[in-house]
Structure 1
């Protein structure tokens, strides 16, 4: 009897890793299928409107024209992500109807009426404003926007997202779009265009015709982890004001004995709503954007005190060894952590930059950076 029990124990010990591996393989395939559905949605959207969905969209009041972003709560002023526009194309018509029409919500005996396209998403996630704490769409999980391998669920975040649009291989104006300090009357088009080299920008729209490097050679979206509250380097941003000039400037804050976690405490302004993947409906950088500067699963480092500033928002995942990306042609690729990524000690391309940082230059971040740019004329001559 003891021998039989011992043999069974050994067999279970041998089989358990195989079972876990099989389950993760199934989750990884499901994640890839989700991304394929998003890719198909983007192509269907483009077929309908001749543009890709706008990241940083929604109504804006006349009071905001010619002035800084207004503070009133009745409109969210172009704070919605591109994923909102994709809802009708990923079989979420009911949720789209909630977003695009006035919505009446009753909670705790209080009834609120929200305007079409709702409230400011980060106010909803932060639960800091009575008017914006119960806007239902922000707290709705959309399975198509979630990776099954990511265990994150519920508060302190809202409707989590594991996929974000690709800004390219730069940092400048990632959080401003073609404006200066959110001032609607102060344009910064040249500065923005020099840096926004990816499939998506902010507050602007691109089309397939703008992707001169080829749809199959350009990353459209990337996968990212959602925060678990454990100060993981891929989900809880740290700050270094010089990160645009030296993208690896935050790695000195990583715990040596636990290289996937920070040794430093978050900045005092690093609230829950700044965490990675917090809400699919919001256009902020940490939630639904990525860039191709540091390789997959490297640290998240911001210029500002929180995710309101640009930074190194690389792709990440709970899969082993890499993360998925969605190419502009709709193909889904798994990019390994060891992809050739150039020199992470070099600054990003910017307006007025020289040498490898000059506008229009090939990406300084090797194959990884080249995949993020849409029209830098790099030649992709190797498998990835």
Structure 2
């Protein structure tokens, strides 16, 4: 018996329908992508804040042991003060950051960049890196040492402008004690973000760094890895040379440039740690007088609480 085959018509997308589906998928992806990026940045920002908490706890544990904080501006060669031949804070607190095996290799009897300390160049703890920084943990070109995305405040905003400047948490060659902080530990900045210092960033754009900006100021173990919070303006050289800098002008302090000044790759602001160990996110629009009050340990300023 013969079987009669019956052909069935099969439905299929028309070209127009296919294009509509592709367009809808594209719109959905376009709507979803910013949300995914925002979620990722929120996670990175949380990790960065946690890094600050760990470093703050390490500094407090160091202070409990040695009755002072380690210096973060150690003038080993006596360029501006009597020589202070000791390790920078980043190296000194390694045991408190579960980095005793790294600290054991550090030779306190020589400069940070001596051949005896060369193996530490790429042993920087991940705690010193912000996950939002592009290529975080890269080595800077003049010393070969990795660069930390966090730095210590070494001068208050009155360093030049005030006839009798106050003091900061990590002044030159100081083994600061918490009892020195007369403004209160919760009103005094200890550390802040200065990220991406493998290269120079000005308003999000990479450019040529000045000749003086060597590994001494950028390397994670460098003796001068600490800096300031001043209002300043930077003009990038269109020919590609070092930028022109004017200090103490305007009101821009945060996210202008990253040669030790406050700078991060988080949208809208930076993390800071206060001397009480707490961590805050400071926006670019913070009142200048409020920020200034947090830079000194004994300025007697009345400051608003940073949320």
The partner residue of 2:108 within 110, 117, 120 is: 117
The unaligned stretches of length 5 or more in structure 1 are 70-76, 100-115, 125-130, 174-190, 234-258, 302-312, 342-365
Measured on the aligned residues, the alpha-carbon RMSD in Å equals 3.0
Specify the alignment match of 1:279 in structure 2: 219
1:338 partner SS: coil
Equivalent runs, 1:315-354 vs 2, <5 Å:
315-341=262-288
Normalised by the size of structure 1, how large is the TM-score?
Answer: 0.61
Q: CA deviation digits over 1:161-209, x for unaligned, max 9?
A: 1111112324859xxxxxxxxxxxxxxxxx9xx5461111121211110
1:158–1:279 CA contact under 8 A, matched in 2: yes
Q: Does structure 1 residue 296 correspond to structure 2 residue 254? A: yes
Residue 20 of structure 1: how far off its partner (Å): 0.9
Q: For 1:135, what is the secondary structure of its paired residue?
A: helix
- Residue 127 of structure 2 is aligned to residue 144 of structure 1: yes
Taking structure 1 as reference, are residues 140 and 195 closer, same or farther at Cα in structure 2, changes over 3 Å only? farther
Judging changes above 3 Å, is the alpha-carbon distance between structure 1 residues 119 and 138 closer, same or farther for their aligned structure 2 residues? farther
Runs (4 or more) in structure 1 with deviation over 4 Å come to 56-60, 170-173, 259-263
Query: Does the 8 Å contact 1:79/1:282 carry over to 2?
Result: no
- Consecutive unaligned residues of structure 2, counting only runs of 5 or more, are 1-17, 232-252
Give the distance between the partners of 1:206 and 1:282, measured in 2 at CA. Answer: 19
Q: SS of 1:167's equivalent?
A: strand
Residue 86 (structure 1) aligned with residue 121 (structure 2): no
Aligned length, in residue pairs = 261
Partner of 1:95: 102
CA–CA distance in structure 2, aligned partners of residues 44 and 58 of structure 1: 24
- The question of 1:214 aligning with 2:184 is answered yes
Map 1:337-376 to 2 at 5 A.
337-341=284-288, 366-376=289-299
- What residue is the counterpart of 1:111 in the other structure? none
Does the 8 A contact of 1:219 with 1:327 survive in 2?
Answer: yes
Q: Deviations over 1:50-72 (max 9, x none)?
A: 11122345989xxx8xx986xxx
Note if contact 1:322-1:336 (Cα within 8 Å) is conserved in structure 2.
yes
Partner of 2:33: 16
> How many Å separate the matches in 2 of 1:317 and 1:9?
32
Q: Which residue does 1:30 correspond to in 2?
A: 47
Q: Distance in 2 between matches of 1:5 and 1:25?
A: 30
Q: Measured at CA, do residues 29 and 382 of structure 1 come closer, stay the same or move farther in structure 2, by a change above 3 Å?
A: closer
- Contact kept? 1:119, 1:135, Cα under 8 Å: no
**Do residues 162 (structure 1) and 149 (structure 2) align?**
yes
Change beyond 3 A, Cα 1:97–1:266: closer
Tell whether the 8 Å contact from 1:35 to 1:326 is kept in structure 2 after alignment.
yes
Q: CA deviation at 1:373?
A: 0.5
Q: Cα distance 1:296–1:79, how it changes in 2: closer, same or farther (>3 A)? A: farther
Question: Does the Cα contact within 8 Å between 1:167 and 1:196 map onto a contact in 2?
Answer: no
CA separation of 1:45 and 1:68: change in aligned 2, threshold 3 A: closer
CA apart distance, 1:154: 3.0
The answer to whether residue 194 in structure 2 is matched with residue 224 in structure 1 is yes
Post-superposition CA distance 1:275-305 (Å, at most 9, x none): x6x3111121xxx21323222112468xxxx
Q: Which residue of 2 aligns with 1:102?
A: none
- 1:383 Cα offset (Å): 4.2
| Structure having the higher Rg | 2
